[in-house]
Amino acid sequence: MKKKHLVTNVLIGLILGFSTQGCKETENPPPPTNEEELITTLKVELKDTLTGEQYSFYFRDSDGEGGNPPEQWDTIKLRSNSFYQCSIKFLNESNKNAIVNITDEIEKEKKDHVICLIPSVVNIQINRTDSDGTFPVGLSSTWKTGAPGEGHVTITLKHQEGIKNGTCDLGETDVEVKFAAKIK
Amino acid sequence: MKTRNLLLLIILGLGTGKGVYAQTFLISGLVKDSLTFQNLTNVSVYNISLKSGSKTDAVGGFRVMVGAGNNVLKITHVGCDTKYLNVFVNHSFDTIIYLAHHQHELEDIMVVGEKNKLVHLDKDRLNQQEIIISGTKPIASLLDKLPGVSSLKTGYSISKPMIQGMYGSRVIVLNNGIKQEGQQWGQEHGLEIDPYNTSRITLVKGAEALRYTGDAIGGTLLVEPTPIEDNDSLNASITLAGIDNGRQGNGSGSVSKRHMTRALGEIGFRIQGTLKKAGDLKSPLYYLKNTGFEEQNASIAVHLFKTKSQSIELFSSIFNSKIAILSTSHIGNLTDLQKIINSEIVMDKGEFSYKINRPNQHIHHWLNTLKWNKHFSPSLHFELIYGYQLNKRKEYDNHNYFNKTEPSLNFNLNTHQIDLVFHKTFKKGWFLKTGINGSIQTNTYKGRYFIPNYKKAEGYQFSILRYRKNRHELEFGYRAGIVNLDAYKWESNAIEHYGLNYNGVSFQAGWLYKLSADWQIALQAGKMWRNPNISELFSNGLHHGSAAIEYGNIHLKPEEALSGTLVAKYRHNNTRVEFEMYGKQIRNYSYLKPKFPPELTIRGAFPAFNYVQTNAFFGGIDFLLEHFFHPRFSFIEKAGMLNAYTHPSSPFINGIPPYRFDHSINYNPKGSKHWQNLNFKVSVLQVLTQNRYTEGTDYAPPPPGYVLWNVSAYGHIKRYKHLLCFVSAENILNNTYRDYLNRFRYYADENGRMVVAGINIKF
């Protein structure tokens, strides 16, 4: 009889112990944290070297991939036969109160990243002006526009750790945005 | 304490009626070597009481008449002492007798003969020897050996079982009596169990499955850890194995001891541990970059006490793994995926490395069980099982910014389960099993959103009733359940709470008829329901591994499956045939339907999928044939054929295993001077192309079928009787191929030839 009681008590004790531990964990799920390395925004800053006028064009999808569709997707509008200086910015705007600039990280890890700027149909000549020492990076570039027309400019950011060879073929695509472009 | 002869260990009894006369019954079955699990031929099984008996045939089968009440069986075999077995019989049964062919020093008899389920097919079972020899693989990959079971893979090291075309939450795995709770929702979430601590894997269908679960529309797999050795000496076992491809090394060892005491009866323990390490695998043409893995597992089993009336067992196991994910599989967008599929990216030959780079996953699974068995009388007992599981999963993406060391995705899953079952044997062939199960589960995540934090509570009540008379057996079971789900989702800077409730009843009915001593047939029919799982309801976002955006649907209804199965089993002299034909009509079958056009994101275009429901039909045939065309040679044919389609919209379902055939020749040579229990096997695995596919519904069409030649050999060294040596080679011709059920089929070839060599020593 004594043995039986011992067994029952041990069982009840063990089960209660585990269950109460379980209950504690079930009470309040912690609020999910924001992802800081998310890239939500691509900003294209262009400065007319002659007039000094500044333009900014955006692609913005602040809830990341999936979810709501992108809320801003500009058309790049430029003047014909002009010369621009371009700088590319990558931002995380998922939390409006704490916007994170990811551009600096790319600058730091420029040996592992490449940005390609490819115009199609539209008459723009783009030259990347920065370098990681061997290959261009693409955060800064010069744009020279020709005759008026319409087309696209595709901006791609590739992560190419240890495999960078100057092209945009290899690696993982972190950003790929096709902007409509107009030259007046 | 009464002295027991451990010559015989009878387990897995199955009642099958052949009562020709009211007072006479038939015991039939197989005699196997308890150490090697080989079928033993020419063993004499003689009933002294009735003066009748037989010798086991070429497949180790025997049949012996017994009278009601006490019988004395005399078992004789060359090389063994003659032993006597007392059996009390009140019904005919089918059993496996394990004969300690090599352990003359052990003298004990144990009869366990539990009638488990209506149909018990050998084709649905893997034994310890098969598991030891293939333990280098993840456990789910071993199941490919069962006809009708495949494994859904993500590379080599991540694998989950697929039964008759179904996986994930449609397949339930019971680990030591407790439902294994990993994150079943994802394809790249493997089955986190150490094969080296597994003595047997059984596929359970029909009413018996309702004892464990009511939502396993595909099937229920029972994984049983290795028991404490049934003798009083200190037992130890060591398995060492290596594979050339991936330069994998495995080591596993265990120690167990049982002790008889006056106060507590039988007490004992078993401690076991496994280490595995592998580097990059190689396909015939190139190294598969970043495909290594490492695993550290340990377990302890303790029998606190075991008397005639009750027993308490504790079991705890830890599974830890770090798995590298093929680098080329984490690509960017749809354009990149198409480039890889169109082979525009040439794989460089690469070189071998043990390093686990990004992307990778770290898994930790901790399982604890407590089992209490109590017998009130010989005809009534109950079992209580309590389980606690913690599953931690950390996924690291290809890279991140800010050199963050935290994982990109981090899940923490806690589960408590309780299971109380009564077993009652009535007079005149009636049996009842009834009980309740309950579980509470919580999941929390950090990092990228894919699955919300949630809390799930489930409660079930089930009963299974069986009736046996003469050549007939009938069974009926039901399982009623309620599921309550509270999910907490972060939506526009506030936590949204979703409360969902589901309930339903599953039924199964079966009839088994023993046509003759050789033939038996069984029919089963049932209705199962399954509540939508958390990913079907709430997933929302980019699945990095599959480069797809998935949207859950909170309005999904529970799935309902009507199923029918016909099973036929034949065994006569040199031939054994097992045949299963099944059909499942599923209402509200939920699956991922492509959404058009592809979704535009900052990373470019991605294919997007919505969870939707439709009606689906799954129908197929599983088949096993074994024929001894010579006393030492047998031919074994295994086949799994399944067709599945949805109606009325799109005819085929993607991801259904293609027809699969395994043709093999098995040779058991006579023992040589130095070797015994030698076995050689040549098998040809033939997988056909999955032609039942609708153009444009997948990123790439199913890869062509393939044929692989595999060979294996094993045997015991005579001088060291407990030393088992094994060597095998898979894909011996080093063929280049891709498998439709491997998600990496888009990116890279399957690994090439794999030569495995190893030993198992028992002390």
Quick one: B132 and B79 in the same domain?
no
> With 90 as the cut, is the pLDDT of residue A157 above it?
yes
Of A159-163, B91-95, B272-276, give the range with the top mean pLDDT.
B272-276
Ranking A95-99, B390-394, B574-578 by mean pLDDT, the lowest is A95-99
Quick one: B294 and B442 in the same domain?
yes
Chains A–B, number of C-beta pairs less than 8 Å apart: 131
| pLDDT tens per residue, range B153-205 | 888 888 889 999 998 889 999 999 899 998 677 777 889 999 999 988 888 88
pTM across the whole model: 0.81
**What does the block give as tokens for B671?**
């023992």
Ranking A74-88, B540-554, B577-591, B677-691 by mean pLDDT, the lowest is B540-554
Quick one: B98 and B181 in the same domain?
no
> With 70 as the cut, is the pLDDT of residue B8 above it?
no
B310 DSSP β-pair partners: B374
| pLDDT tens per residue, range A36-72 | 568 899 999 999 999 999 999 999 988 877 777 888 9
Interface contact flag, A173 B453, Cβ < 8 Å: no
Interface contact flag, B542 A174, Cβ < 8 Å: no
Interface contact flag, A15 B332, Cβ < 8 Å: no
Among A33, A40, A109, the residue with its CB nearest the CB of B446 is A33
Quick one: B198 and B226 in the same domain?
no
Percentage of chain B surpassing pLDDT 70? 90
> With 60 as the cut, is the pLDDT of residue B678 above it?
yes
Among residues 108-167 of chain A, which lie with CB inside 8 Å of chain B? 109, 112, 158-159, 161
Helix, coil or strand: residue B540: strand
Nearest CA in chain B to A110: B401
Delimit the domains of chain A by residue range.
41-183
Quick one: B202 and B245 in the same domain?
no
Residue after which a domain boundary falls, among B206, B221, B236: B221
Q: What is the pLDDT of residue B6?
A: 31
Q: Which residues have a Cβ under 8 Å from the Cβ of B726 and sit 6 or more positions away?
A: B132, B133, B241, B712, B713, B714, B756, B757, B758, B759, B760
Considering chain B, what is the average pLDDT of its residues? 85
Q: Is B573 left (phi over 0), alpha (psi -120 to 50) or beta?
A: left
Please indicate, yes or no, if residue B116 is contained in any of the structural domains: no
Q: What is the pLDDT of residue B306?
A: 84
Interface contact flag, A66 B542, Cβ < 8 Å: yes
Please indicate, yes or no, if residue B244 is contained in any of the structural domains: yes
Closest listed residue to residue B370, CA positions, set A18, A31, A50, A178: A18
| pLDDT tens per residue, range B394-404 | 988 877 776 67
Q: What is the pLDDT of residue A7?
A: 56
A36 in contact with chain B, both atoms CB, cutoff 8 A: yes
Range of the domain at B398: 222-762
Q: Which residues have a Cβ under 8 Å from the Cβ of B207 and sit 6 or more positions away?
A: B117, B118, B464, B466, B475, B476, B477, B508, B509, B510, B524, B526
- List alpha helices for B492-549, DSSP H: 534-538
Please indicate, yes or no, if residue B408 is contained in any of the structural domains: yes
Ranking A31-35, B497-501, B563-567, B680-684 by mean pLDDT, the lowest is A31-35
Residue after which a domain boundary falls, among B47, B80, B111: B111
Closest listed residue to residue B415, CA positions, set B367, B469, B484, B451: B367
Please indicate, yes or no, if residue B153 is contained in any of the structural domains: yes
Mean pLDDT of B46-60: 80
| Whole-Å CA distances, B142 to A60, A170, B98, B159 | 48, 36, 23, 10
Q: What is the pLDDT of residue B207?
A: 87
Helix, coil or strand: residue B751: coil
pLDDT band at B301 (very low <50, low <70, confident <90, very high): very high
Q: Give CA–CA dist B497/B555, Å, rounded.
A: 15
pLDDT band at A14 (very low <50, low <70, confident <90, very high): low
* B444: chain A residues, CB-CB within 8 Å: 29-30
Please indicate, yes or no, if residue B498 is contained in any of the structural domains: yes
Q: Give CA–CA dist B750/B155, Å, rounded.
A: 8
Q: Give CA–CA dist A69/B556, Å, rounded.
A: 24
Q: Give CA–CA dist A19/B438, Å, rounded.
A: 12
Percentage of chain B surpassing pLDDT 90? 44
- B493 burial level (CB within 10 Å; 0-12, 13-18, 19+): exposed
Please indicate, yes or no, if residue B117 is contained in any of the structural domains: no
Q: What is the pLDDT of residue A62?
A: 83
Among residues 98-117 of chain A, which lie with CB inside 8 Å of chain B? 102, 105-106, 109, 112
* A174: chain B residues, CB-CB within 8 Å: 332, 603
CATH number of the domain that residue B180 is part of: 2.170.130.10
Of B334-338, B604-608, B647-651, B743-747, give the range with the top mean pLDDT.
B743-747
Quick one: B244 and B144 in the same domain?
no
Quick one: B402 and B498 in the same domain?
yes
Residue after which a domain boundary falls, among B111, B132, B164: B111
Interface contact flag, A11 B414, Cβ < 8 Å: no
**Cβ atoms within 10 Å of B88's Cβ, excluding its own:** 11
| pLDDT tens per residue, range B229-267 | 877 788 899 999 999 999 999 999 999 998 888 888 888
Beta strand pairing call for B93-99 and B108-111:
unpaired
pLDDT band at B19 (very low <50, low <70, confident <90, very high): very low
| pLDDT tens per residue, range A22-43 | 444 444 555 555 555 688 999 9
Q: What is the pLDDT of residue B57?
A: 80
- Total count of domains within chain B: 3
Please indicate, yes or no, if residue B118 is contained in any of the structural domains: no
Q: What is the pLDDT of residue B14?
A: 30
Closest listed residue to residue B128, CA positions, set B192, B59, B38, B190: B38
Return the HEC string of chain A.
CHHHHHHHHHHHHHHHHHHHHHHHHHCCCCCCCCCCCCCCEEEEEEEECCCCCEEEEEEECCCCCCCCCCCEECEEEECCCCEEEEEEEEEECCCCCCCEECHHHHHHCHHHEEEEEEEECCCEEEEECCECCCCECCCEEEEEECCCEEEEEEEEEEECCCCCCCCCCCCEEEEEEEEEEEEC
Quick one: B399 and B525 in the same domain?
yes
Quick one: B226 and B184 in the same domain?
no
| pLDDT tens per residue, range B470-491 | 888 899 999 999 999 999 887 7
Interface contact flag, B442 A159, Cβ < 8 Å: no
CA atoms within 13 A on the CB side of B5: 16
Q: What is the pLDDT of residue B102?
A: 40
Quick one: B580 and B440 in the same domain?
yes
Quick one: B216 and B227 in the same domain?
no
Considering chain A, what is the average pLDDT of its residues? 83
Q: Is B219 left (phi over 0), alpha (psi -120 to 50) or beta?
A: left
The alpha carbon of residue B434 is apart from the nearest alpha carbon of chain A, in Å, by 21
Quick one: B578 and B680 in the same domain?
yes
CA atoms within 13 A on the CB side of B525: 1
| pLDDT tens per residue, range B196-230 | 999 888 888 888 889 988 888 988 998 989 888 87
| pLDDT tens per residue, range B96-124 | 777 765 433 222 222 222 344 556 677 77
Among B339, B402, B606, the residue with its CB nearest the CB of A36 is B402
Among B330, B401, B540, the residue with its CB nearest the CB of A37 is B401
Torsion angle, alpha carbons of A84, A87, A91, A93, to 10? -30
> With 90 as the cut, is the pLDDT of residue B638 above it?
yes
Please indicate, yes or no, if residue B99 is contained in any of the structural domains: yes
pLDDT band at A1 (very low <50, low <70, confident <90, very high): very low
Percentage of chain A surpassing pLDDT 90? 52
